[in-house]
Structure 1
Amino acid sequence: MKLSIRTLLLAASVVLTPLWANAAQTEEFTLKNGMKIIVNEDHRAPTVAHMVWYRVGSVDERNGVTGVAHALEHMMFKGTKKLKPGEFSKRVAQLGGRENAFTSKDYTAYFQQIEKSKLEAVMALEADRMANLVFDKNEFAKEIRVVMEERRLRTDDQPTSKLYEALAATTYAVHPYRNPIIGWMDDLQNMTVNDVKAWHDTWYAPNNATMVVSGDVEPKQVFALAQKYFGSYPAKTLTRTRPQNEPPQEGIKRVTVKAPAENPYVVLAFKVPALRDIAKDDDAYALDVLSAVLDGYDNARLSAKLVRTDRVANDVGASYSGIARGPVLFILDGTPAQGTTTEQLEKLLRAEVERIANEGVSEAELKRVKTQLIAAQIYKRDSVFGQAMEIGVMEMSGFSYKDTDRVIEKLRAVTPQQVQAVAQKYFGDDALTVGTLVPLPMTEKKPAAAPAGLRH
C-alpha cells in the first residue's frame, strides 16, 4: 500500500489549515525498548483507532519465501499462549469494536476501532500477540490454504491483477518489488510454519514497531498504557537486507498476458524518482501534480481527450505515488474502445504526456487542478482512522507525520514550468515497461466464493 503525495493534500482541511498545526493535538513518545508511540487527539466522538505498524513487508523477503509477511499476518489471529485460535477477533467483537490487518510491500499493520473506554483491552490483546504468538503446525496448514485460495481469487482469476503481477516482475530485474505481496504460488505451497515463526521472531520487535492511537484520548493515558503492556519487551537486533538497486534499463520492456477477459487493456509503467528529501525533491511533487493534470478530476486531460472527445478509449488513467521505501512508478493505463488497438492506445497515452512536454500547462489549468483537489475535501469528512492511517504510512515510509504540512506546501508551490520539465525528462523509452492484456474467450465458470478466513 502506497500513499500518494496528492492524497496528503486531500487530507488537509479545505482552507489548508495544517492537520498537525496544534502542537497539543499530536504527541509522540518512545519507550526505552525503542517502540514509538504517536497519539493524535480528536475529541469529536468517543471512539479510538488503535494501530500497531511493523516496518517490515514483502520488500524484506528473500526468494523462496515470498509471501511470508502476509502469511504471518494471517497467523497473528491464530492464537497465543493465552488465546485460542480466533479468540482475538471474538474478544474485539465482544468489546463492540472492529479489527483487521493489512500487509504491503513496505510494512504490516494491525488495527482496532473501539469505544474509548475499551482501548486498554485491545492494547493488551495486541501486546500479547507481539510476544506470545503460538505457531501450531495444524493451524498453519489450514491458514496457508486460505492464503493460496486468496491468491487464486484475487490474482490468478483476475486478468488485470495477473497483468500487474507480470508487469512488476518485468519492470524490476532485481528489486524485491518484483515479487507479489501475497507471494508466488510455488513459495506458498512449500512454506512451513518454521518460515513464518522465523519471520515473526526476526521482525516483530518493539524497536521495529510504531503504535498510532487516534481519537478521543489523552496522550498521558496512552503512554502509560503503552509502557504497561509493551514496555517490558526487549529490543531486538534488526538486520536489514542489502539494497538491491536496479541496473540501468536499456530500452522498452514488454510483457503480454493472455487470460479470459471481456476487454483488452494496456498499462505503461515509467520508472521515476521517489520522494526522499522533502525539501529538495521538487520533481516528485511535480510528478504528482502531472498525474492530477492527466487524471485528477472529472474533466482531466486523459478522459476529456481520449474518452469523451476522440472516443478511442472506454477508460483511461494516470497515477503516481512517490512515498515508498523502494523505487516508484508513474502509471498510464486504459481500455481501448471498439476499433482501437492496445498499440494505438499506448501511443495516444504517451502523446498526451508529450503534449504537456511540448506545450506545458497554463497557470489557469494548474490552479483549476489544485482547486479541484482541495474542493474534494469539502464533501469528505475526515475520520480518526484516516488520520491514524496517514500518520502510520508517513512513519513507515521513512518520514515523520510532522512532514505532512511541508509536503502540502511544496505541492501548492509547484509551477507550470516544473510540470512541463518532468514531462520532458522522465517519459522516454529507457524508463518504460508496457504490459498488455490479450483477452481470451470468457468461460461459463462461476466466480469462486471468498475463502473462509479471508481477512481483507
Structure 2
Amino acid sequence: MRSKFLGAVIVMVATSTIAVAQKVQFTEYDLANGLHVILHQDKSAPVVAVSVMYHVGSKNEDTARTGFAHFFEHLLFEGTDNIKRGEFDKIVSSNGGQANANTTQDRTYYYELFPSNQLELGLWLESERMFHPVINEIGVKTQNEVVKEEKRQRLDNQPYGKFADEMFKRLFAQHPYHWQPIGSMDHLDAAKLGEFKAFFKKYYVPNNAVLSIAGDIDIEKTKALVKAYFEEIPKGAPVVQPAIVERPLAHEIIDSVYDANIQIPAIIAAYRIPGSKTRESKVMEMISTILSGGGSSRLYKKMVDDKKNALQVAAFNYALEDYGAYITLALPNNNASLDSLLADIDEEVAVLQKDLISEADYQKIQNQFENNYVSANSKMLGVAENLADGYTYSKNTNRINEELDEIRSITREEIREAARKYLQKNQRVVLYYLPGK
C-alpha cells in the first residue's frame, strides 16, 4: 500500500457520518464501455471521495509472473500522457486532497479524497490513469525498486512478516491464493515491458472497473462529468475470473518455519473456510469476536489475564472472495510451551462447538457488529469503497444496506454450527513459527 498522506484540509471535513438507521442511497448505471458507475450524495460536509475499483488482484496473475497487480498499484501513479512523471501526487496535494491505493488477492483500489469543489479534478485523474498511463522502462525500473523496498520493510525485515505467506502456501495447493499480493521479486525482474503492457490492457479496462463517488455532489452534474471523462475510453475484452476449487484438507498439516527477525516464537493454526460473499464468512467473524475481540474475550481472559501463559492471542477471519482463512495464533509468556497454547485455544473452540453462547454474549456481539457497521460507513471513503465492494464481488451494490439485517439475523445456533463445521482439527494447518538465525 502506498503510504503518503496528502492534504490537511481533508482531515477536518472527511468525517461526515451516516445515521445508524439510515439507508445509504445511491444511483448506479453503466456507460456504453461497461464502466459501472455508483453515485452517493451526502451534503453534510464539503468533501467528495472519487474511487475506482478494478476486479484484478494477485489471483489473476500467471504463476511465473506473480506480483503484477500490486506492482500496478504503484506503476499507475507514475504519470500519463497529460500528467508528467512524478506529478500525480503533487497535483492532488496542491488542491487540498489525499490519494492512495491498495491491492488484495481479489481487487485493486485507487482513490482520491478532495474538497467537493475539486470533483472534476478527481475524475480527470482517474480517467487519465485508465486511459493514458505511461508504461515505459523508466517507470517499471523505478517502481521495481520501490516494491523491493516495501517488501524489505513490510515482510523480509518485519517480525512475523512472513507468516501469511508461509500459511497460505500450505493452506492453498491449487488456488492462486497460494501466493501473496506482493509476489516474487524475481518474477518482476524477469518480466519484459511488453508483459506489463499486456497485463494493463487485459485488466485495467472500464468493463472490469467500478467508479464509485460519494460525498457533496450534484447527481446530474456528476453524471455529465463522468460521461465527459470516461465515455470515450475503449471497452476491453471480457475478463473471466479464475474458478479454481480446492479439495478439502484431508488431515491436519503440521510444519515449522524460522524467522530471523523474532525472538519470541508463535503457534499459528489456520482453517480454510468459505469466502466473503457467503453468510458463513460473517458468522466466522462473529466467532472471532467471541474468542479474541477485546479484553473481555474468551481467549484473552483465559490466556493473557488468568493463566498469563500468553503475551498475545488472536483469532480472525482473513476473508477473501473465493475462500477465507480462519487464523488463530498465540505468543507464549513465562516459558509456556507452544503446544499448551494451542491446547488452550482448542479448548475454547470446543466449548463453542458444544454449547450455545449466552444471550448476553450474543447481544454484546450484535452491538459490536452494529457499531462496526456504522463506523465503516461513517466516512465518504468508507461508503465509496463499500458500495464498490458490493458490486465488484456480488453484482449487488445494495449489499451495503443488507449487511446489517444479515448480522441481526445470525443466530446462536448458526454460530455453534459454523464452529463445528469449519474448525475441525483434521482440516487445518498448524505452524510452529520459530526464531531463526
Q: Identify the residue that residue 118 of structure 2 maps to in structure 1.
A: 118
Q: Following the alignment from structure 1 to structure 2, what is the Cα–Cα distance between the partners of residues 58 and 378?
A: 30
- d(CA) in 2 for partners of 1:377 and 1:325? 19
Listed as ranges, the matches of 1:19-34 within 5 Å are 19-20=23-24, 25-34=25-34
Deviations 1:266-319 (A, max 9, x none): 221111222445xxx4x3343222222112233011111111111111111111
Give the partner amino acid of 2:21.
Answer: T
Query: Which protein has greater RCO, CA pairs closer than 8 Å, 6+ apart?
Result: 1
Question: What 5-or-longer segments of structure 2 have no aligned partner?
Answer: 2-16
Q: Distance in 2 between matches of 1:345 and 1:68?
A: 38
Structure-2 change in CA distance of 1:206 and 1:152 (3 Å): same
2:158 is the counterpart of 1:162 = no
Aligned in 2, Cα 1:48/1:356: closer, same or farther, shift over 3 Å?
A: same
Partners in 2 of 1:302 and 1:128 — Cα distance? 49
Using the TM superposition, give the Cα deviation of residue 93 of structure 1 relative to its aligned residue in structure 2, in angstroms: 1.6
CA RMSD of aligned residues (A): 2.2
- How far 1:16 moved relative to its partner? 4.4
Partner of 2:50: 50
Partner secondary structure for residue 161 of structure 1: coil
CA separation in 2, counterparts of 1:160 and 1:228?
Answer: 48
Q: Give the distance between the partners of 1:122 and 1:359, measured in 2 at CA.
A: 52
Task: Supply the distance in 1 between the matched residues of 2:332 and 2:34 (Cα, whole angstroms).
Answer: 52
In the other structure, the counterpart of 1:313 is 310
In the other structure, the counterpart of 2:142 is 142
Opposite residue 420 of structure 2, the aligned amino acid is Q
Counterparts of 1:55 and 1:96, CA distance in 2: 29
Task: Find the counterpart in structure 2 of residue 363 from structure 1.
Answer: 359
Query: Partner of 1:251 in structure 2?
Result: 251
What secondary structure, in the 3-state scheme, does the structure 2 residue paired with 1:294 have?
Answer: helix
Question: What's the offset of the Cα at 1:190?
Answer: 1.6
What's 1:451 paired with? none
Quickly say closer, same or farther: Cα 1:98–1:29, change in 2 above 3 A. Answer: same
Q: Report % sequence identity.
A: 27
Q: 1:232 maps to which residue?
A: 232
Residue in 2 that maps onto 1:302? 299
TM value normalised by structure 1:
0.87
Match of 2:198? 198
Per-residue displacement from partner, 1:357-384 (whole Å, max 9, x unpaired)? 1222112221122224445678899111
Task: Give structure 1 stretches of 5+ with no counterpart.
Answer: 2-12, 442-456
Q: Which digits, 9 at most, give the CA deviation of each residue in 1:201-254, with x for residues without a partner? A: 111111111111111001112111111010012211124254222123221123
Residues 159 and 437, structure 1, Cα contact 8 Å, conserved in 2: no
Matched, 1:84 2:84: yes
Amino acid at match of 1:169: K
Q: Structure 1's 423 and 168: CA in aligned 2 closer, same or farther, altered over 3 A?
A: same
Match runs of 1:18-417 below 5 Å:
18-20=22-24, 25-240=25-240, 242-260=242-260, 261-276=262-277, 281=279, 283-322=280-319, 324-374=320-370, 382-417=378-413
Aligned partner of 1:352: which letter?
E
Question: How far does residue 176 in structure 1 lie from its aligned partner after superposition?
Answer: 0.3
After superposition, the Cα gap between the structure-2 partners of 1:162 and 1:30, relative to the gap in structure 1 and judged at 3 Å, is: same
Instruction: Say which SS state the counterpart of residue 329 (structure 1) adopts.
Output: strand
Amino acid at match of 1:430: N
Q: Give the TM-score normalised by the residue count of structure 2.
A: 0.91
In structure 1, C-alpha distance between the alignment counterparts of 2:377 and 2:403, rounded to whole Å: 21
Q: Equivalents in 1 of 2:152, 2:179: separation in Å? A: 16
| CA–CA distance in structure 2, aligned partners of residues 237 and 196 of structure 1 | 17
Tell me the alpha carbon deviations over residues 11-33 of structure 1, each in whole angstroms, 9 at most, x when there is no partner. Answer: xx99841432xxxx311121111
For the residues of structure 2 that align with 1:14 and 1:255, how far apart are their CA atoms?
A: 47
Q: Which amino acid aligns with 2:292?
A: D
State the 1:406 CA deviation: 2.4
* Deviation of the 1:394 alpha carbon: 2.4
1:377 to 1:106, Cα distance in 2 relative to 1, 3 A: closer
Q: Quote the offset at 1:327 in angstroms.
A: 0.9
Residue 5 of structure 1 aligns with which residue?
none
Residues 267 and 333 in structure 1, CA contact (< 8 A), matched pair in contact too:
yes
Call closer, same or farther: CA 1:376–1:49 in 2, change over 3 Å.
closer
**Secondary structure at the counterpart of residue 268 of structure 2:** strand
- Does the Cα contact within 8 Å between 1:203 and 1:238 map onto a contact in 2? no
Moved more, 326-335 or 238-247: 238-247
Shift of 1:122: 2.1
Against the structure 1 CA distance between its residues 253 and 44, is the aligned structure 2 distance closer, same or farther, given a 3 Å change threshold? same
